[in-house]
Structure 1
Amino acid sequence: MKRSLFFIILFGLLGTACTSLYKKGQKQFSSGEYQYAISTFSKVLEKDPENKEANFYVAESYRLSNRIEKSSSYYEKLVEEDGTFENYYRLGQSYKSQGRAEEALEAFKEAQGLTLDDAYSNELKREIANLEKSDEIEDYWPYLELENYTLLNTAGPDYAPIVNEGYMYFTSSRQASGIYPGTGTAYTKLFRTRAEGIKVDVQNIQALPEFRNEEGLNQGAIAISPDGNTIIYARGNSTSKKDLPDVHLFASYFRGGGFTQPIWMPLNEDEFWWNSTPAFSPDGSVLYFASNRPGGYGGTDLYKATKLANGDFGNPVNLGPEINTPGNEMFPRLVADGKFFFASDGHAGFGKLDMFVAEPSEQGTVVKNLGPKINSVADDFGIYFTNYPQEGFITSNREGGAGDDDIYYFEDKTPKPKLVNIFLNVTTKEKQENGSEVILPQTRIALYDSANKMTGGDFTNQSGRVRLTLAPNADFSMIASKSGYFTKSITYTTKGKTPSQEELIQEITNITLDTTIILDALILEKSIVLDNIYYDLDKAEIRPDAALELDKLVTILKDNPTISIELSSHTDARATDAYNDALSQRRAESAVAYIVSKGIAPERLVAKGYGKRQLIIENAQTEDEHQVNRRTEFKVIDIK
C-alpha cells in the first residue's frame, strides 16, 4: 500500500513537472527565445520522446532561428503521428537544407496530396522544380577558388565583410557581452581592420571606432556609402521591452569631423517589420535592403529606396518576382556593370541560402546560381568584391569552418592562355613574259590589321623574303609595292591556322606559315588581258561573272592611285567593221561605267573599242580561237 502510494505521488510530481516545463517552453517560444525553448522542450522529450507538442516546438524553434537543418528528426516524429500538409512541407524543407534531395522530393510530394490551396500547391511545385534543377547548376566562374579566412574567423559568427578606404568592416560575436536567446549564440558587434584587397590585417582588429557598439543586442550587416560619409547597419534582437521589437536599419552620418550617433531610418516604416542587410548602389544614390513588410512575395524580399533631397532614403520599391520568391532573399549587391548579386533560398539551389546573380537581358532579368564553387548545402551569402569579378569575400557556415558563419575569400585562378607566336614568311616574285616567276628583292611589304591599322612591315631581302609576326585568329591585309611594278594588296587570315588552347602543350608555341605575292611590271602602253570578261551575244551589259573580273581591276586601280588606264574591248572577225566597232565601244564604255561605280575617278579611265582591228589570231577558225580574239584589255597610259 505504501509502495503504491509512492508511485502515485511520483507520477503526480512528474506530471506537474512536465506541465510546468511545457508552460515555460511555450512562453519562451512566444517571446522568440527559441534556444531556451529548445532546451526546455528537450527536457520534456527526455521523459516522453513521442510528445507531439514538444516535438513541434523544438522543430519550429530550429526553423524560426534559421537552423531548420536540425529539425528533421522532430518533424519525422510529427508526420508519423500527424501527417498534415504543414508537417510534410516543413520536413521537406529540413531535408532540402541538409542536401537530402531525394527525401525532400518525397516529403514535398506527400504534402502535395494533402492540400487544395492553390498558393500552397504552387509553392510545392516551385520547391520540386528547384530540386529537380539542382543537378543542372554550373559554376558561374569555373576557375574561382574559395578559401576559409582561418586567421580572421572565430568559433562564433563572423560575417558580411565590406571594404572601404583601406579598411575591412564586418560583423562578429568576438568581445560579446551576452547571449542572444533566439539562437543561443553571443550577440554580434561591428568591427574593422586594415585591408588591402583580400589581404586583411588579422592582428589589429578593433571595435568599430566611428560610433560605439551597443550592448545586449545584435548589430551587423554594415554598409558604407561610396563617399564614406554614411554608415547604415542592422540593429535588433534586444531583450529589453523598451527597445524595438524587431530588426531595423540605423544610419550614422559624418558631420563636423565625426560620425553622429546612429538613428532609426524612416524607411523602416513599422516597428514590427524586419529590415536588414543594406547595400549601396555603386554611385550611392540607391539603398538596397531586405524586408518582410507586407505586400511582398513571401519570406523576406529585396527592396530599393532612392536618396531624397534631405539625404535620407525613401519610397521603397519591391524588386519584383524575377528576383523575389516565396522564400527568402537578402544580402543584395549591385555592381558597376549592372549585375545584381543576392542570396536566396527560393531559387534553385543546393540547400539553404545560395548566392545568385541577376543579369539584364533583352528577354528580361535572368537569374543564375553562382554554382558549387561558391555555394554549398549550408548558408552562403554576403558577397563583396574587392576587385570585381576577380576577387572578394563571401560568408558561409558550411562544414569545415570555425564553427558558425565564417568569412571566406575567393580569387579567380583562370589559367593564363598559352602563348602562340605566328611567323609569316612572305616571298615576293615577279611574273615574266613567258609566265615564269622569279624572285623580286627589295619589295616593301606593309601589314595592316582588320581595323586598317598598320601593325608591321619591312623590305624583302635579296632572296625576296621577309618575316612578319601575326596574331592568332585574326584577319590582316598586306600591301606589296616596288617602283616599276603594280602595287598589290592581298588579304590574309590566321583563323583556323593555329591549335585551340586545349590542344596546346607548351606555354609558348611558335608557328611558321608561308605565302607568296607576285607583282607585275608596270610598263606604259603594255596591254594586259583581263580574263573571263564575257558578254551576252550582241550585248554590252556587264554580266555577274564579268563583274567579278572587273572588281580585280578596281583593286589594282585602288592599290595604284597614280596610274590612268585605257580599257579596251575587242571582237572577233565575224560581222562588219562598223558593227564590231560600235559593239566593242559600247562594251568598253559599259566596263568603264562599272569601274566608276566602284569609286574610281572617271578621269583615270579611257574607254576604247577596237572592233576586229587588233586580232591576236588572224583567220581564226574554231570557237576557241574566236574567243581569244574576243577579249578585254587594259594598259597604263599615264603615271602621275
Structure 2
Amino acid sequence: MKFVKPFNSSIYLFLIVITGMLSGCNYDARLFKKAKQNFELGEYEWTIREVKPLAQRYYRAKETNYFVAESYRLSNRIQYATPYYLIAKEKGYDDKNINLHLAYAAKANGKYADARKYLKEFIDSKPSRELVVKAEIELENLPAVEEYSKKPSPVKIQGLVGNTNQAEFGPIKIGDELILTSSKKPLIYKNNGLPFLGLYKARLKSPGEIEKLELFSANLLDANANEGTPAFSKDGNTMVFARGNSGKSKDPSPDVDLYISTKRDGNWSTPERLAISDSIGWDGSPAFSRDGKTLYFASNRRGGKGGLDLYRAPMDNSGRFGRPINLGSTINTRGNELFPYVSEDGKLYFSSDGHPSLGGLDMFVASRSGDDIQIEHLGIPINSVGDDFGLFLSDVSQGYFSSNRVGGKGDDDIYYFESTGAEDRWWSNEIMISESGEPAKVALYHLRTQIVNARNKPIANVKVGVKRNGEIQPVQFSDAEGYIDMMDLNPADQISFNASKEKYLTKRSEFLMDGREIPKQLLKKELTDTTFDHTITLNQAEVGEELGALFDVNPIYYDLDKSNIRPDAAAELDKIVQVLKDNPDISIELGSHTDARASASYNLKLSQRRAESAVKYIIEHGIEASRIKAKGYGETQLINGCSDGVDCSEEAHQENRRTEFKITDLND
C-alpha cells in the first residue's frame, strides 16, 4: 500500500487565498491597462466605470484617482473630480497642474474660497507663463464672481416639463414647436456614456411643457455622430447645424464641423459641410443674425484669443459665406465663448467661462454704443455654478435656456423663464452706455495698397477690382508708383482685391481688419491715426513655374493608400480652380506622389490615381480637361529622407503623399 500524505486543511485554505489574491491582482492589472487605453482614446465614461472601482480599492491609488479626475474634467464634469484629485495629489501624482484643476472644480461647486486657495498654490508653484496668466485672470475675476452670485436677474425659471434623464439643450421656438438637441440616438458616445446627440422637435402644450420628442428630419440623421444646435435663416428654409464627435479619432473634440441643409417641398436636403469650417478644429453652436445675412459660430481654430472664440461670417445673396472674422478681445477671452444668439434689437447673447462666471459657462449680453461694447452678466437664477448656455428669446417677456445645474432631470436640461415685470430686465431695448466723464479715445484706420512685380518694382495701370465686405466697389487703376486710392477702414472690414494686367498673371488678394484693431486700453491719445500697407505682387507666367510660388496655394495631401480628395485638399483645389478661371491662357500639370511604403510599381499606379482624382475634381468645377494634365511620380521624388527601410513618423510620411501644381503651357 502506497503511503498517502495526510490532508492539511490550513495549507489548502492558504493556497486558495493566495491564488485568489494573485488572480485578483492580475484582473486589476488587466482592468487598469484597458482603462488607460480607453482614456487615451477619449472614452472617458468607460474609463470612469473601469477605474473608479480600482480607485476605491486603492489599487495604484495615485494613478487610478488621477485618471478618474481627469476623465471627469475632460468630459465636462469637473464638479465631480475634487475628491479624486485630492487623493492623487496626496499620493504624489506628478502633475503640476493639479492645483489649477482643483481650483476649477471648487469654482464649479461654488466654493470660491477653496478656488482662491488652490489658485494661489498653483501660481506659487511657478508653472509656465501662459498658465500663470490664466490663473491670475481667474484670481482677479473671483471678487466679481462673488458679486454676481448676489445679483438677482428679474426672471422666474422652471425646468421644462418634458425633459428626460438624457441631455436636452439648445432650444429654438418655431411656431408652436420647440426644436432642440437631445441624446436619444441608439448608439452610445463613449466620451460621456450618453447616447449620441441628434436634432429633435416637440409640440408645445404650453410655454413650459412639451409633448413627446420626435426626430426632426430623417435626412439629417447620422447615427454614429453627434448633431445639434441648429440655426435657421429668416425665412426658415436654410439651416446650419454642427455635426461631429464621431468617436473615431483619438481626440474626440476636433472633428466637429458646420453643415448646411435647405428645405425643398417640405423636406430637408442632405447636409453638406460648410467650407468655412476648419478641417482640424471644432466649429459649432451656429446662430444667424436677425436679417439672416451673418452667421455667428464658435471655433477653436488657430489665431483665436483662447479656447473657443466667437466668429462671424457674412452671407451673400447666393448663400455663400465669406471668410470668418473673430469678434475681438472685448468679447473673446483666453477661456471659451460659445452659443451666440442675436436678439431682435441686435444684442449678442453668449456663454463664457473666460469672463467672470459663477462656475462653468455663464450667460452674458454684449451691447454696442458707437464703437463701445459693454458686456453684462445675466445674474441669478438664470446663471448658476453649473454650465448655463443656449439662450433663446420667444418675445420681450419669455424665453428658454439650457443648464446642467443641480436639481435637473438629466445631463443637460432646458429651462423656461419669464419676466417678473421688472423694468431693468437685460433683454429690454435700452442699451447701457457707460459715462466715465473722460474724453473718448478714437483710432482711425486707413489702407494703402501697392501693386509691384517680382523684383518689388511698382506696376502702373493695373486694373484692380475691389470688394468691401462682399459689396463691389468702383474699379481702380494703379498710378505710376503702383498705388490705388487709399481707403478708410472700419474695425470689422474685409477687403478683397482682383488685380490684372496684360502679360501678368491675374491675382486675388485679401486684407482683413480682424485682429488689427488697437485695444482701447492701449490708446494714449484722443486721436490715433494708423495706416496699414498692403502689397500685391504680380508675376509673369513661365513654363515650369510652381503655382505655390506665385499664388497662395499649398500642395494637397492624401491619407495612406488613398486617392480620394479630403476636405482640406478640396479647399486648395478650389483655389486652383479660381486661378485657372482668372488666367485662361495657362495650362498646368498636377504632379502626384506617394510615400516609400509598398512597391515602386504599386506606388506609381497609386500616384497616378491621385493625380487623376484631383484633375477630375477641377474639371467638375468648370475647367476644360485640355488645360490639365495628371502625372504620377510614385515614390521617385520624396521631399525628405523617408525612403525604403527608414523609420519615419506618420507625419513625415504624410509630407510625401502630395500633389503639386506647375505651369506647363502658355496659350497666348
Q: TM-score, normalised by structure 1?
A: 0.60
Deviates more, 1:99-108 or 1:272-281: 272-281
Aligned residues: 412
Between structure 1 and structure 2, the one with the greater Rg is 1
* Residue 341 of structure 1: aligned partner: 349
CA RMSD between the two structures: 2.8
Give SS of 2:219's match.
Answer: coil
* Amino acid of the structure 1 residue aligned with 2:129: D
CA distance in structure 2 between the partners assigned to 1:361 and 1:7 by the alignment = 77
Q: Deviations over 1:130-162 (max 9, x none)?
A: 21211222788743111111x221111111101
Give SS of 1:315's match.
Answer: coil
Q: Deviations over 1:411-438 (max 9, x none)?
A: 1121699xxxxxxxxxxxxxxxxxxxxx
Q: CA deviation at 1:362?
A: 5.4
Q: CA deviation at 1:324?
A: 1.6
Q: CA deviation at 1:369?
A: 1.0
Match runs of 1:96-135 below 5 Å: 96-135=107-146
CA distance in structure 1 between the partners assigned to 2:292 and 2:17 by the alignment = 72
Selected match of 1:237 from 234, 245, 251 = 245
Q: CA deviation at 1:217?
A: 2.6
Do the aligned partners of 1:355 and 1:381 also contact (CA within 8 Å) in 2? yes
Match runs of 1:156-235 below 5 Å: 156-174=166-184, 176-195=185-204, 199=207, 202-203=210-211, 205-209=213-217, 211-235=219-243
Give SS of 2:97's match.
Answer: helix
Q: CA deviation at 1:247?
A: 2.0
User: Structure 2 vs 1, CA of residues 42 and 261 (structure 1 numbering), >3 Å: closer, same or farther?
Assistant: same
User: Structure 2 vs 1, CA of residues 172 and 360 (structure 1 numbering), >3 Å: closer, same or farther?
Assistant: same
CA distance in structure 2 between the partners assigned to 1:106 and 1:148 by the alignment = 34
Match runs of 1:368-387 below 5 Å: 368-387=376-395
Q: CA deviation at 1:326?
A: 2.0
Q: CA deviation at 1:28?
A: 0.8
User: Structure 2 vs 1, CA of residues 337 and 328 (structure 1 numbering), >3 Å: closer, same or farther?
Assistant: same
User: Structure 2 vs 1, CA of residues 385 and 210 (structure 1 numbering), >3 Å: closer, same or farther?
Assistant: farther
Q: Deviations over 1:228-254 (max 9, x none)?
A: 111111122224579997222211112
* Residue 468 of structure 1: aligned partner: none
CA distance in structure 1 between the partners assigned to 2:101 and 2:326 by the alignment = 27
User: Structure 2 vs 1, CA of residues 195 and 283 (structure 1 numbering), >3 Å: closer, same or farther?
Assistant: farther
Percent identity (aligned): 36
* Amino acid of the structure 1 residue aligned with 2:345: D
* Amino acid of the structure 1 residue aligned with 2:82: S
* Residue 137 of structure 1: aligned partner: 148
Match runs of 1:286-301 below 5 Å: 286-301=294-309
* Residue 33 of structure 2: aligned partner: 23
* Amino acid of the structure 1 residue aligned with 2:72: Y
CA distance in structure 1 between the partners assigned to 2:278 and 2:303 by the alignment = 14
CA distance in structure 2 between the partners assigned to 1:405 and 1:307 by the alignment = 32
Q: CA deviation at 1:409?
A: 1.0
Do the aligned partners of 1:152 and 1:202 also contact (CA within 8 Å) in 2? yes
Match runs of 1:60-459 below 5 Å: 60-82=70-92, 84-137=95-148, 142-149=153-160, 151-174=161-184, 176-195=185-204, 199=207, 202-203=210-211, 205-209=213-217, 211-240=219-248, 246-255=255-264, 258-270=267-279, 272-308=280-316, 310-361=318-369, 364-388=372-396, 390-414=397-421
Do the aligned partners of 1:378 and 1:396 also contact (CA within 8 Å) in 2? yes
* Residue 547 of structure 1: aligned partner: none
Deviates more, 1:119-128 or 1:290-299: 290-299
Q: TM-score, normalised by structure 2?
A: 0.58
CA distance in structure 2 between the partners assigned to 1:117 and 1:212 by the alignment = 44
Q: Deviations over 1:97-121 (max 9, x none)?
A: 1111111110111001012532211
CA distance in structure 2 between the partners assigned to 1:116 and 1:148 by the alignment = 42
User: Structure 2 vs 1, CA of residues 204 and 346 (structure 1 numbering), >3 Å: closer, same or farther?
Assistant: same
CA distance in structure 2 between the partners assigned to 1:160 and 1:27 by the alignment = 33
CA distance in structure 2 between the partners assigned to 1:256 and 1:322 by the alignment = 43
CA distance in structure 2 between the partners assigned to 1:373 and 1:6 by the alignment = 59
Do the aligned partners of 2:41 and 2:249 also contact (CA within 8 Å) in 1? no
Q: Give structure 1 stretches of 5+ with no counterpart.
A: 418-640
CA distance in structure 2 between the partners assigned to 1:205 and 1:14 by the alignment = 46
CA distance in structure 1 between the partners assigned to 2:388 and 2:286 by the alignment = 17
Do the aligned partners of 2:358 and 2:385 also contact (CA within 8 Å) in 1? yes
* Amino acid of the structure 2 residue aligned with 1:135: E
Deviates more, 1:362-371 or 1:404-413: 362-371
User: Structure 2 vs 1, CA of residues 384 and 141 (structure 1 numbering), >3 Å: closer, same or farther?
Assistant: farther
Q: CA deviation at 1:184?
A: 1.1
User: Structure 2 vs 1, CA of residues 239 and 85 (structure 1 numbering), >3 Å: closer, same or farther?
Assistant: closer
Do the aligned partners of 1:177 and 1:186 also contact (CA within 8 Å) in 2? yes
CA distance in structure 1 between the partners assigned to 2:412 and 2:43 by the alignment = 20
Q: CA deviation at 1:195?
A: 4.6
* Amino acid of the structure 1 residue aligned with 2:134: E
Do the aligned partners of 2:231 and 2:287 also contact (CA within 8 Å) in 1? yes
